[in-house]
Structures are given as C-alpha cells and as structure tokens.
Amino acid sequence: MARRRKTLSQNFLHDPSVVHRLVHLSALPKDHLVVEPGAGQGVLTRVLATGGRRVIAYELDAGLARLLAGQLGDRPGLRLVQGDFLRAPAPQEPFAVVGNIPYSRTTGILRWCLASRHLTSATVLTQLEYARKHTGGYGRWPLLTVRTWPEFEWRQLGRVGRTSFTPIPRTDSAVLRLERRARPLLPGRVLPAYREFVEYGFTGVGGSLAATLSRRHRSARVRAVFGRLGIGTSLPVGLVGPAQWTALFEELGTDVPRASR
C-alpha cells in the first residue's frame, strides 16, 4: 500500500484543523451532492458525510476501500466506490468536488472537473507550486486557467504546511478552488471560439502574443487593440492575464482570420 501511495504521490491528511478548514472553504449547501476523488484513510470523508450530506467517495486502493467500507459503510448518504475516479461518470445533477488529491494526478482530476457539465465547484488540496502557478501567483498564467477563465474562477485559498500530511511531502500544499461562474464572462455561443483563440495564442509563434496574433489578424489592428487595452506588444503569452485575454477576444475574436480571406 505504501509503495502504491508513493507512486501516486499521495500523502494522507491527518490534521483535523485542515480537514475542517477545507470543508468550510468548500461552502457546500446542505443538500448538495459531494464527490471525493480519493478517500484514503477516510479522515475527510468522515467530516463530509455528516448532517445527512450526500457523498460519493472514490478510493482506488482496494485494501483501503475495504477498510473504509468496514468503518463508514453504514453512514447515511455515503456511497463508497472502489475504483478510479478519473474513469467515473460525472453525476447528472449539480455537485461539488472536495478532496486531498495526489500531486501526480492533479491536472487529470481538474480536467475531469472542468469537463463535467454539472460541476459547481472543486475545492482541493494540491501542491503549493501548482496552486500558485494556476492562479497567477508567479506572475504568469498557464493555458488551462486562461482557457477556462470565462466559465471558472481559479483561486488559491491559503497555504497548508507539509507536516499536516503523512508521509511528509517535500513541499507545502495549498487549497485550490475552482468555482463555476453564475454568469460566464462571455456568451455560451462564443466559448468554443474563445478557447480556439486562446489555444492559437499559446502556440507562441513569433515570440510574443501580439506577434502570434499578427499572423492571423492584421498587424496594425493587433497593435491598435493591444495599445487600447494597455497590453505591451512585446509580452510573451504567459504574462498576459485571463481578464486581458477576454478583452482581446472581444476585440479580435470576430475578425476574419487572414487565412480565411
């Protein structure tokens, strides 16, 4: 079991104060369905499955799943599933994801969440560096955050010390929260076009975002839009923030690309 946990970069959370903090930051409505990606030893599961809350808890490790079934199997509203969360179908009703997730599976789990039509929020413990990177903490923004920004807000909600876990990881963790916006920043009908616009921009051809976009749009127009929005034309793609991307799309997204003319 220890070897399997090491392979998955899984560190068990044992600090009760962090457990309760995570549940508090999840802001779960009382009747909301909750999905836990990896129950582990059940420390978080026990708190989630209180007050009649409905919880689906996944655990990949068969041995741990049997232990959890013996300890928590009769708890009302709790369904324990031995299996891989990433292979599970998303619930067909509004639900939230809450969990202490393996570092090595963070991106896969968050992509699963983002692709789930009925997800309302995901509040997870992950590596501090990952949380900072995806919320602009280093002054740079990755493709995943920018691509999903009109629909989801990404926030880091505090740091969690490494000694709150067993075995103790090499770095601290953080609470990362993704919350679906009640009203997307862009109309739903243009979101596919926005995502394509962002993905093209992140190809990095030309050395700066303005140079990349100038390969598709008239250079003079790109310079004018960047100037009007106060975005430097020499900025590399990673230094352009999500709000700036949204504004750029609103200005340039309806242009007919050069290749289509």
Q: Which CATH class is domain 188-260?
A: mainly alpha
- With a cut of 70, say whether residue 137 has pLDDT above it: yes
Q: 155-172: per-residue pLDDT in tens? A: 999 999 999 999 999 999
What's the mean pLDDT in 101-111?
Answer: 94
Identity at 195, one-letter amino acid code: R
Average pLDDT over residues 215-242: 96
Asked, colleague to colleague, whether 2-180 and 188-260 share their fold, the answer is no
Enumerate the domain spans of the chain: 2-180, 188-260
* Contact (Cβ atoms closer than 8 angstroms) between residue 170 and residue 103: no
Distances (CA, A) of 254 to 137, 144, 187, 247: 31, 22, 13, 12
Supply the pLDDT for residue 8: 53
For residue 209, the model assigns a pLDDT of 97
Fold of 2-180: Rossmann fold (3.40.50)
- pLDDT beyond 50 at 208: yes
For the chain, give the mean pLDDT. 92
Whether the CA torsion 183, 184, 185, 188 is positive or negative: it is: negative
CA neighbor of 47 nearest in space, from 77, 70, 5: 77
The answer to whether 102 and 165 have CB atoms below 8 angstroms apart is: no
Decide which of 242 and 29 is more confident: 242
Residue 5 has pLDDT above 50, yes or no: no
pLDDT of residue 51: 81
Weakest mean pLDDT among 3-12, 23-32, 229-238: 3-12
